[in-house]
Chains A and B, each alone.
Chain A
Amino acid sequence: MSAFFDAQVNCLLGLNCVNPVSPVEPETLTIFNPEENIMKKRLSLKLALLSLVSSLTMGAALAQQTTLRVFVGPNQRPDLQAKLFEQYNKANPGVRVEIETGGATSELQRQYLSTVLNAKDSAIDLFLIDIVNPAQYASKGWIEPLDRYVGGAAALRTDYLPVYQQANVIGGKVYAMPSQGDAMFMYYRKDLLAKHGVSEPKTWDDLAAAAKKITGAEGNANLQGLSIQGAAIEGAVCTFLLPYWGQGKQFNDAAGKLTLDKASAVKGLNTWLGMVDQGVIKKNVAEITTPITVNEFKAGQVVFAINWGFAYDRFQDDADSKVKGQVGVMPLPAMTGGKSATCMGGWQWAMNAFGKNKDAAGKLIQFLSSKQASAFIAREGSILPVFQSVYADPEVNKVVPWFKDALPVVLGAQSRPMVEDYGQVSDIIRTTTSAILARTKTVDAGVDEIATRVGRLMR
């Protein structure tokens, strides 16, 4: 009986539905012996009680299992995150992690998460957020300070890239933990530069000259000199900042106050427009998004392209890439007399302040922001590490040799303004930059608009 009962309970709990032993056990059919029968009954009763207790304990253990729901954008490799969660689950069988994904771009993910968090929804426990978001989320009270889970701001001062300390520590408290590094790089066609005897350009003027020389000699009408992102997407904020920073200017001070030098901003944007006029950049640059740059470079239609770190993997590994083995990476050129500067990106783990499983989520964050996790996604997905030492990790370098050259670029990278109203600041910069590149606004009027409107938000 007990085995039958046990099987029934197990089956009900969904553990193991095997054919239960028949309730009519063979021995009950033997010749009647009252004593033996009483003993058997007692034994059966004990076994039944034991099995009930064991089944209840197992049930309670199942009920104790915590399910954490995490949100990961589709570009942040949910497939690799799933492998990390599997590793975590092996070491912590009590925690199960479910992945939710959505929102093709950083802006769309921000829109989705702000809808969820404005409603104080507890459904998602952890989320990966863009480097520009912690300040905004923290000011709204949407994300939980992580100090008690990760050991305070000191934890970020160890080996993490300095830019992630700045982005994730707000008012002395840790609000997010870095997971994936990213920065804008200059990709170029090694074969074309070699063929035409052109060396890596150090300034934007050199780059324009090199691009013109190569496209002119190739005589291919579809070959572009330089591809940048001019559509009103998050990448256009970097398109605005790159030639501005490249003059050694700062967009904001440490307190988040706008320090825009309008003349330099005008000069920066005129650099792009000048390249459009020279035919180095496409005329419809204001339509170009990050994926368009990736696809056109992959199709062999671009000599130089500015894009995020993830693009390298796409150029080298995608089945439809025509430029495999011909992709060079270098720091972004500087403005003449200035210094090279690039835009820092990257993704951080943050905890929902309205979540119901904070302790379990805190432990998971510790694991996900560990050096081991960073090295794993670097090896498996060529994702830039957030730890300096991982860039030189021989295991990582075996798979992704270009990472050792990427470290100086990443160390010199600057971050976009980290302010509470970043959503609005970003919208103003990208919409205006795109309108300037579409030539529906003059450079002077556009820069004035950015200075006035952003100035109101960053004072």
Chain B
Amino acid sequence: MLPNWRDPSEKTLAVLLLAPAFLLLLLIVVYPIGKLLYNSLFAVDKDSAFIGLRNYLDVWQDPLFWNATQNTVLITLITVPGALVLGLGLALLANLPFRRKWPVRLALLLPWALPLSFAGLIFAWFLNTDYGVVNDVLRRAGLQSEPVSWLLKPNWAFAAICLTVIWKTSSFIALILLAGLQMIPNSLYEAAEVDGASRWQQFWQVTVPMLMPSIMVALIFRTITALQTFDIPYTMTRGGPGEATETLAMLIHKYTIEYSSIGMGSTLAVNMFLISLVVTGFYLRHIGRDAA
């Protein structure tokens, strides 16, 4: 039976009102993902041979894929908690009753406002063997007899990238947490003080539980972007030395753009999408529910 357009039922109205948003999502989310899945079944691009799941088998047997996945997971595991702790500290600092608030807020916003690749280049120059400020300071302090090539040593290069990512992203977390902090009513602290709670106890018993929803939002955003890390390692090390700091997003870029292999690039992207999906699902199912 056709719906009555003049006086639609609530259900029909709901469908009608949702339709534009649904169509938009279909176009900008479902279609590209479908296309990605489709492309991943071809040898090089859609004009070449259909090879079924061959690309997937190749990817799963490729040590470079596992190396990049391991690097990506490690960067996520190190930088997300790192940025959370630093971001929380910055938010607490910015929330102090300063007479002038803008210099603190500006300092908080600045790293966030910088383009990622810019941050990567700045830190790459800091750590440059010949012209970097880090080696210069160490040499002047008498801690170094000859310059260290930080970005040519796999572990140092990895640590440098993590440090840059934490520096760059903690201000984003701080901004979200600052908004959360300002929503905690002062009366809760006053009540805690009356009950004889110390500052430390107030932090753990009032601030942290009240801030949990903001922390969750920040964590989900940060984790998803950490899984997609590209710009900072690309500008700092180009994935080197060798492939020591290559992430999954960089490997996708390499196959798709440098090697012009849309098939393999799409396959890698599908794998990354699945990883993101699992992580987001985990957050939403377990932690998100508890926080709510």
Contact = CB atoms under 8 A, between A and B. Distances in A.
- For the residues of A in contact with B, the DSSP-based class is helix
A444 B169 CA distance: 40
B254 interface: yes
B258 A431 contact: no
Contact of A434 (B129, B146, B240, B260): B240
Contacts, number: 68
B242 A110 contact: no
Contacts of B261: 424
Nearest to B48: A140
Nearest to A457: B259
Given A438-B240, A440-B241, A440-B242, A110 B258 contact: yes
Interface string A227-259: 000001000000000000000000000000000
A165 B257 CA distance: 28
B152 A114 contact: no
Contact of B259 (A283, A421, A435, A440): A421
B244 A440 contact: yes
Given A283-B149, A284-B152, A232 B259 contact: no
Contacts of B288: none
Best-surrounded residue of B238, B254, B260 (most CB of chain A within 10 A): B260
B259 A427 contact: yes
Contacts of A140: 260
B259 A423 contact: yes
- For the residues of B in contact with A, the DSSP-based class is loop
A449 to B, nearest CB: 9
Given A435-B242, A438-B241, A424 B153 contact: no
Contact of A427 (B152, B241, B244, B258): B258
Interface string A383-409: 000000000000000000000000000
Contacts of A111: 257-258
Contacts of A205: none
B243 interface: yes
A287 interface: yes
B16 to A, nearest CB: 36
A427 B242 contact: no
B154 interface: yes
Interface residues of B, number: 25
A287 B258 contact: no
Contacts of A136: 260
A284 B149 CA distance: 6
Interface in B104-157: 128-130, 146-147, 149, 151-154
A351 interface: no
B152 A440 contact: yes
A441 interface: yes
Contacts of B241: 286, 434-435, 438, 440
Contact of B243 (A107, A283, A423, A431): A431
A441 B258 contact: no
Nearest to A230: B152
Which 10 A-B pairs rank lowest in CB-CB distance, beginning with the nearest?
A: A435-B242, A438-B241, A284-B129, A438-B152, A284-B149, A440-B241, A424-B259, A111-B257, A114-B260, A423-B258
Given A136-B260, A424-B258, A438-B240, 20 more contacts: A110-B258, A114-B257, A114-B258, A118-B262, A140-B260, A232-B238, A284-B149, A284-B152, A286-B149, A287-B149, A423-B258, A427-B258, A434-B240, A435-B241, A435-B242, A435-B244, A438-B241, A440-B153, A440-B242, A440-B244
24 contacts: A111-B258, A114-B257, A114-B258, A140-B260, A283-B146, A284-B129, A284-B147, A286-B149, A286-B240, A287-B151, A423-B259, A427-B259, A431-B240, A431-B243, A434-B241, A434-B242, A435-B242, A438-B153, A438-B240, A438-B241, A440-B152, A440-B153, A440-B154, A440-B244
Interface of B: 45, 128-130, 146-147, 149, 151-154, 238-244, 254, 257-262
